[in-house]
């Protein structure tokens, strides 16, 4: 049966004004004002309040939505669930829980080995009650394109529905054959009807897809929802938004970061820090960010007013598989809305941050520095900024390559000496001497930190 590709927000369609139960004497008065939009782990639940990100929020009159269905019982909410809470500044209007993965679990015979769900390695969570092949529902954070951190694991509410539901980032999109990659899953969306008036899929989009998943990670999509950052455009007061999660990417200047693999965050000179300093922000660190959404300069980002260390991060954590990061300087080329440097294609995402007034319409021919991470053999761009053309030195991060009977190269620059010979096939972060007119680098020094 065909279903629609509904290019609607994952959240906005559920955030109706609060209704629910009797609002008389059960409402606890808040001890502090709260953000209009909060995302984080549910820490405690009572008949009158919930606790999220260390804040107790009166909630007796809130609408409760679980996996897209309105619920009347407060006890459906459980500690560990990642929830979205909309408020009027004093009490909750809506409490929304939506899992990030519903799919069969795969458990290794190796003792203490991490389990996988829909191709993602799952850190944390209690899977003792499940055997391989059981359908599970996972709530938590995306750490990278290959890992999630589980905060809550349970049986799916509808145990008879064998369809998988999976969040992730679109890569390797083939619009003609209507396929793409989501993590390690190959998705065929030919059975999904697309409404052009509502937009279309793009590489880098954050989506939730529902469909039939096979054991070899092939998924026939029946329904797709696309995250739309425009939902946050009205949340532009200083402390309108509060997000909790793990840093999955951070720029070399520590002025831009990505939270939970999808939320772009900007650190400014006015950002305050609580329990952590800016220099301690690293990939894998758990933080809480408070601020306002900004659409200035063609960017979509959360401008952080405060960054707080999440003390859950004090607990021992399994090894994190970070995204493979890159950095390149060079002259930008744009052809049919595709950005490249030295013939290497770079994927611009809705969350890409354009600095100092440049954008896709104006970047062609400019010397730029580009940062991001690699996923499924695509270079996903998180930040682009204009630079003065390098004349003598250049900084690069990426894979050293060598085709048969050809020069060793890094980002399309030929290596004129043997300084990178031992690194062929490896990712390195280097500073090299640069010969602009020959597009050559030499005397490269590898940063081993």
Q: What is the pLDDT of residues 230-244, one digit of tens each?
A: 667 677 676 689 999
Confidence of residue 163 (pLDDT cuts 50, 70, 90): very high
Percent of the chain clearing pLDDT 70 (strictly above)? 86
Confidence of residue 289 (pLDDT cuts 50, 70, 90): very high
Q: Which range among 184-188, 199-203, 331-335, 390-394 shows the weakest confidence by mean pLDDT?
A: 199-203
Q: Is the pLDDT of residue 149 over 90?
A: yes
Average pLDDT of 277-291?
93
pLDDT of residue 317: 56
pLDDT of residue 8: 38
pLDDT of residue 417: 96
pLDDT of residue 26: 41
Domains and CATH numbers, the chain: 3-97 (2.40.50), 101-154 (no CATH), 164-226 (2.40.50.140), 233-314 (2.40.50.140), 324-446 (2.40.50.320)
SS3 category, 23: coil
pLDDT tens-digit map of 107-147 = 987 777 789 999 999 998 889 999 999 999 999 999 999 99
Q: What is the pTM of this model?
A: 0.86
pLDDT tens-digit map of 177-191 = 999 999 999 999 999
Q: How far apart are CA 189 and CA 231, in angstroms?
A: 25
DSSP state of 420: T
- Do 107 and 153 form a contact (C-beta atoms < 8 A)? no
DSSP state of 424: B
Average pLDDT of 273-278?
93
pLDDT of residue 59: 93
Q: Return the half-sphere exposure (C-beta side, CA atoms, 13 A cut-off) of residue 168.
A: 29
Q: How far apart are CA 213 and CA 229, in angstroms?
A: 28
CA distances from 75 to 32, 45, 49, 78, 442 (A): 25, 8, 12, 7, 64
- Do 270 and 255 form a contact (C-beta atoms < 8 A)? no
Confidence of residue 30 (pLDDT cuts 50, 70, 90): very low
Percent of the chain clearing pLDDT 90 (strictly above)? 69
Q: Is the pLDDT of residue 19 over 70?
A: no
Q: Return the half-sphere exposure (C-beta side, CA atoms, 13 A cut-off) of residue 320.
A: 21
Q: How many CB atoms lie within 10 A of CB 104?
A: 18
pLDDT of residue 405: 74
Confidence of residue 5 (pLDDT cuts 50, 70, 90): very low
């Amino acid at each position: 049966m065909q279903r629609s590709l509904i290019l609607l927000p994952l959240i906005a369609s559920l955030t109706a004004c609060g209704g629910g139960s009797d609002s008389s004497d059960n409402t606890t008065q808040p001890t502090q004002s709260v953000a209009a939009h909060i995302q984080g782990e549910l820490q405690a639940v009572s008949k009158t309040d919930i606790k999220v990100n260390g804040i107790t929020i009166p909630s007796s009159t809130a609408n409760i939505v679980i996996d897209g269905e309105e619920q009347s019982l407060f006890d459906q909410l459980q500690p560990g669930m990642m929830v979205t809470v909309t408020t009027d500044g004093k009490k909750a209007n809506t409490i929304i829980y939506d899992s990030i993965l519903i799919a069969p679990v795969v458990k290794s015979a190796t003792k203490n080995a991490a389990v996988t769900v829909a191709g993602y390695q799952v850190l944390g969570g209690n899977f003792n009650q499940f055997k391989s092949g059981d359908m599970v529902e996972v709530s938590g954070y995306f750490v990278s394109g290959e890992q999630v951190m589980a905060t809550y694991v349970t049986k799916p509410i509808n145990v008879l529905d064998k369809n998988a539901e999976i969040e992730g980032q679109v890569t390797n999109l083939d619009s003609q054959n209507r396929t793409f990659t989501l993590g390690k899953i190959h998705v065929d969306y030919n059975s999904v009807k697309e409404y052009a008036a509502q937009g279309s899929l793009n590489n880098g989009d954050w989506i939730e897809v529902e469909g039939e998943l096979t054991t070899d990670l092939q998924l026939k999509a029946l329904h797709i929802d696309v995250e739309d950052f425009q939902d946050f455009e009205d949340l532009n007061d200083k402390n309108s938004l509060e997000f909790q999660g793990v840093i999955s990417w951070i720029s070399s200047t520590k002025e831009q970061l990505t939270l939970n693999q999808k939320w772009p965050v900007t650190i400014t000179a006015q950002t305050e820090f609580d329990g952590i300093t800016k220099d301690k922000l690293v990939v894998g660190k758990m933080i809480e960010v408070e601020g306002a959404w900004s659409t200035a300069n063609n960017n979509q980002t959360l401008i952080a007013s405060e960054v707080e260390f999440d003390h859950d991060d004090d607990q021992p954590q399994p090894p994190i598989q970070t995204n493979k990061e890159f950095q390149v300087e060079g002259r930008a080329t744009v052809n049919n809305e595709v950005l490249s440097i030295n013939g290497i294609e770079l994927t611009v995402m809705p969350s890409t941050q354009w600095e100092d007034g440049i954008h896709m319409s104006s970047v062609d021919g400019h010397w730029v520095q580009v940062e991001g991470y690699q996923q499924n053999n695509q270079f996903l761009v998180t930040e682009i900024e204009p630079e003065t053309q390098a004349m003598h030195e250049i900084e690069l991060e990426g894979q050293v390559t060598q085709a048969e009977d050809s020069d060793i190269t890094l980002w399309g620059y030929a290596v004129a000496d043997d300084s990178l010979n031992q690194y062929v096939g490896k990712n390195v972060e280097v500073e090299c001497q640069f010969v602009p007119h020959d597009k050559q680098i030499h005397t490269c020094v590898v940063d081993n930190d």
